[in-house]
Amino acid sequence: MIALNTTWERRYRTCLIGIGTWEQPYPPYVDEALSEAEMLQQLANWYTSAVEYYIGGQCWAFRRQAAYRTQYASCLKKALEWFKTEHIRPAAWIGWSAQIWKHYNGADSPTEQPARKARTKYPPPSWVFGVARMQKRVGWFVACSLDYDGGCVFYSNSAYILLERYQSISREMLFVDTSTWEGRVRHDSIWEKYLPRIEEARLLAAAKDEVITAKLKTTLALAECRWLWGKPIRDL
């Protein structure tokens, strides 16, 4: 009978559980501890980051002055109250709206004609934050919201390499009987073939360092209201 070899399996599971991985944060809800001007500015920053990510280029709607001084201030205030009342994550709504604008060429659904014939490259803030549209499209947004949410687990580059090596080892270990001397010799040779101990230690250390760096970058990106979600997800 072939004995179960747990060496590779234990290391493989350890890597899966947390070494070299981090969880993508969820888009924040409205932070009511901030002043109204700060909350409006956050909406403006999420808008700028999301539309530039999905559509490209540089959007100037909120770059010239503070959000509360722009022509969209009243619209942003109404949207802010809607986000609070409906418990909707503003960044997720904005990212979804940017995708809809891009995908349907300025229309608000696949069955409607573009109202502006895509004369504007970016979705107008009055369209993204228009409460009438929000109330009309919230059901559609909720159905798609998982694509604009957090919670995904990402692996660092070194963790991916480790997982590939562990999987190669597991395939060759499948029919190795480690209860015999020949099986143990075969076990050691397979491990040395794919992942020598020194190489494994180096990759594990690199994976941990990459995760620390990624978490720091994510924290900074959140503080700057930079877009982090959606599909495809770009590297930080």
The reported pLDDT for the residue numbered 13 is 65
Phi, then psi, of 234 in degrees rounded to 5: -85, 160
What pLDDT digit, counting tens, does each position of 40-86 carry?
Answer: 999 999 999 999 998 889 999 999 899 999 999 999 999 999 999 99
**Tell me: the pLDDT tens digits for 74-94?**
999 999 999 999 999 999 999
Mean of all residue pLDDT scores within the chain: 84
User: 67-76: long-range contacts at Cβ-Cβ below 8 A with a sequence spacing of 24 or more?
Assistant: 67/37, 67/40, 67/41, 67/43, 68/36, 68/37, 68/40, 68/41, 70/44, 72/44, 72/125, 72/126, 72/129, 73/40, 75/125, 75/126, 75/129, 75/130, 76/40, 76/43, 76/44, 76/125, 76/129
160-175, pLDDT tens digit by residue?
898 888 888 888 888 8
CA dist., res. 178 & res. 197, Å (int) = 19
Instruction: Give the tens place of pLDDT for each residue, 95-136.
Output: 999 988 988 765 555 555 555 545 578 999 999 999 999 999
The C-alpha atoms of residue 173 and residue 195 are separated, in whole angstroms, by 13
